[in-house]
Amino acid sequence: MHDSPSTTNATSRRGFLKQTGAIAATGALAGVTLPHVFAAEDNTMQVAVMGPGGRGTGATANALRVETAPMKLVAMADVAENRLKSAYEGLKGQFGEKVDVPEERKFIGFDGYKKAMDCLRPGKDIAILTTPPAFRWVMFKYAIERGLHVFMEKPVSVDGPSARRMFELSDQADAKGLKVGVGLMIRHCKTRQGLFNRIRDGEIGEIIALRGYRMHGPVASAFSTRKPEGENELLYQIRRFHSFIWASGGCFNDYYIHNIDECCWMKNDWPVEVQASGGRHFRGDNVDQNFDNYSCEYTFKDGTKMFFYGRCMAGCHDEFASFAHGSKSLAVISSNSHWPSGARIYKGHKMTNSEIAWRSPKEGPELDPYQVEWQDLVNAIRNNTPYNEVKRGVQASLVATMGRKAAHTGQVITYDEMWNDTHELAPDLDKLTLNSPAPVLADANGRYPVPQPGVNKTREY
Ligand SMILES: NC(=O)c1ccc[n+]([C@@H]2O[C@H](COP(=O)([O-])OP(=O)(O)OC[C@H]3O[C@@H](n4cnc5c(N)ncnc54)[C@H](O)[C@@H]3O)[C@@H](O)[C@H]2O)c1
């Protein structure tokens, strides 16, 4: 048994929250003191992006927009040439000379990340990890070996073994003094930070329940029809990564983590167990592994409940929001997607305009958290202040994973069980080549194994 990093570290987490809050609060606008190493010579900070798809292009754009340091993109790596090409063209058109990626620094293939990171300078530059989550530990490991600072997207793990591995890697990054940002960008939202402080100061009373919703029609690659004839099976699964639990943790981990994380943030704790249900209703010809609806009841160690509802179904009520119920009143943590948050506190539990006790504009306009998280990371590198969001990212990822596993197996899952879980969904991802077999195989009808709650009780498929 490994010691679970569950809820025993509330004190250190509070310290961390305080610290990240302080960094974020001074982030965008404050002047920075340049360490000698930057002041004396070329102070351009270079980045390389692994997986320049939708978010990789977005994160790179955020990096290049940072105002407190000259920034430059110098290398790119992807398994899909067309994705790299279109990302390069888009970024070059937008940022001109800040994009300095000649053909010899564009790398295609499963080992491309190493070559791209080899273009960066240890101790100075930043590797951007925006592939599907399954590859996070593989690339983080190499970035640490190379002494690079890192920005990585959420989720950072998809199962117990990858969560434990990321925790250990986080310690290795600290030992080398590396700074690591994790794309749970709403932790950098100043309005939510203000809300957190108000909840901590007792404005809504004791939290008695939290609710999170991510319910909308089918999105991204969570729904997939049969693999096109002739396409490489492994590349198909990576391209449709939300459809495959090994690659993304499924739509559960990849989408729901933000609402789950912001609820846990406001509670200032992580839940100790979860029970959940879900099912596949209108899947038509879809062959992926997801359920199209999930309902979860998480329990914190003081007995407080957190309810989460996820749905990918057309024609139903849509909601993308999180709430905290206190013994005195209600707080809205987010009201419509990630940003702007629409965070507010009501006088009681009735959600009418006349009942609003506090809302964000009183604390100034809400900055784009995707930009703020980058300014915070770069400032931490420049000022050499402690900055590592990985463990918190692992904990959020693990809490999402336990909800998913509870729904998929039909069992109550504890945080400690999930932490110690030995089912690695895709072992040896660091050894993949184009000829490797895909981690999950379809049956004769082209359908991949789907969870069967109550039948498969210990493994999801
Ligand atoms: N924080 C947020 O709000 C937010 C928003 C969107 C996406 N994301 C996260 O970003 C990540 C990527 O999501 P996306 O929507 O950009 O997906 P995407 O498919 O658009 O991009 C992923 C890219 O990675 C490439 N890739 C896959 N495996 C690779 C490998 N082994 N080596 C190199 N390249 C590889 C793909 O070819 C693709 O170009 C996911 O973890 C997702 O959860 C976060």
pLDDT tens-digit series, residues 185-229 = 999 999 999 999 999 999 999 999 999 999 999 888 888 999 999
Q: Summarize pLDDT for 284-315 with one digit per residue, the tens.
A: 889 999 999 999 999 999 999 999 999 999 99
Expressed in percent and rounded to 5, the helix, strand and coil fractions of the chain are 40, 20, 40
Select from 76, 79, 377 the residue to mutate for testing ligand 1; criterion: most ligand atoms less than 8 Å from CB.
79
Q: Kindly report, residue by residue over 376-404, the tens digit of the pLDDT.
A: 999 999 999 999 999 999 999 999 999 99
Atom of ligand 1 lying closest to residue 257 CA: 43
Check residue 17 and give its pLDDT.
35
**Stretch among 29-43, 244-258, 437-451 having the lowest mean pLDDT:** 29-43
Instruction: Indicate the pLDDT class of residue 360, thresholds 50, 70 and 90.
Output: confident
pLDDT (0 to 100) of residue 363: 58
Alpha-helical regions (H) of 350-389? 369-383
Other C-beta atoms lying within 10 Å of the C-beta of residue 41: 9
In this predicted structure, what is the pLDDT of residue 38? Answer: 44
* CB of 55 sitting under 6 A from ligand 1: yes
Whole-number mean pLDDT of the chain?
Answer: 91
The alpha carbon of 306 is separated from its chain's Cα centroid by a whole number of angstroms, namely 19
Residue 247 has which token pair?
A: 């690659």
Q: Which of 41-45, 155-159, 184-188, 415-419 has the lowest mean pLDDT?
A: 41-45
Cβ-Cβ contacts under 8 Å for 90 (sequence gap 6 or more): 57
pLDDT score at 11: 32
User: Which CATH number describes the domain made up of 10-187+370-389?
Assistant: 3.40.50.720
Alpha helices in 201-249 (DSSP H): 233-239, 245-248
Q: Is 9 helix (H, G, I), strand (E, B) or coil?
A: coil
CA separation for the pair 378, 45 (Å, rounded)? 9
Of 66, 75, 9, 58, nearest to 380 by C-alpha is: 66
Per-domain boundaries in the chain: 10-187+370-389, 190-367+398-431
Give the ligand 1 atom nearest the CA of 136. 41
Distance 200 CA to ligand 1 centre (A): 35
Say whether pLDDT at 279 is over 50: yes
Instruction: Tell me the average pLDDT across 403-418.
Output: 98
Neighbour tally for 193: CB within 10 Å: 21
Q: Where is 408: in which H helix or E strand?
A: helix 390-409
For residue 250, the number of C-alpha atoms closer than 13 Å in the C-beta half-sphere is: 28
* pLDDT confidence tier of residue 35, bands split at 50, 70 and 90: very low
Q: What is the pLDDT of residue 301?
A: 98
Edge-to-edge strand list for the sheet holding 126-129: 106-108, 71-78, 45-50, 126-129, 149-152, 180-182
In the predicted structure, residue 2 carries a pLDDT above the cut 50: no
Res. 358 pLDDT band, cuts 50 70 90: very high
- Our measurement of the distance from residue 268's CA atom to the centroid of its chain's CA atoms, rounded to an integer in Å, reads 18
**pLDDT value of residue 220:** 84
* Per-residue pLDDT band at 361 (split at 50, 70, 90): low
CATH tag for 190-367+398-431 (out of 3.30.360.10, 3.30.70.100, 2.60.40.1180, 3.20.20.100): 3.30.360.10
On the question of a cis peptide bond just before residue 427, with omega within 30 degrees of 0, the verdict is: no
Whether the pTM exceeds 0.85: the reply is yes
Ligand 1 proximity of 369 Cβ (cutoff 6 Å)? no
Q: Which residues contact 355 (CB under 8 A, 6 or more apart)?
A: 346, 347, 348
Mutate to test the pocket of ligand 1, among 83, 128, 130 (most ligand atoms within 8 A of CB): 130
Ligand 1, atom nearest to 83 Cα: 39
Q: How confident is the model at residue 5 (pLDDT cuts 50, 70, 90)?
A: low
DSSP-based three-state secondary structure for 277: strand
Q: What is the pLDDT of residue 42?
A: 77
pLDDT at 245: 98
pLDDT at 99 over 70: yes
Distances (CA, A) of 289 to 145, 221, 231, 439, 447: 35, 11, 19, 13, 9
Ligand 1 atom nearest to CA at 254: 43
Query: Does 78 sit in the ligand 1 pocket, CB within 6 Å?
Result: yes
Would the pLDDT of 41 be above 70? no
User: Could you tell me which residue, 304 or 10, shows the higher pLDDT?
Assistant: 304
Whole-angstrom distance, CA of residue 221 vs CA of residue 223: 5
Average pLDDT over residues 319-336: 97
Residue 22 pLDDT grade (very low, low, confident, very high; cuts 50, 70, 90): very low
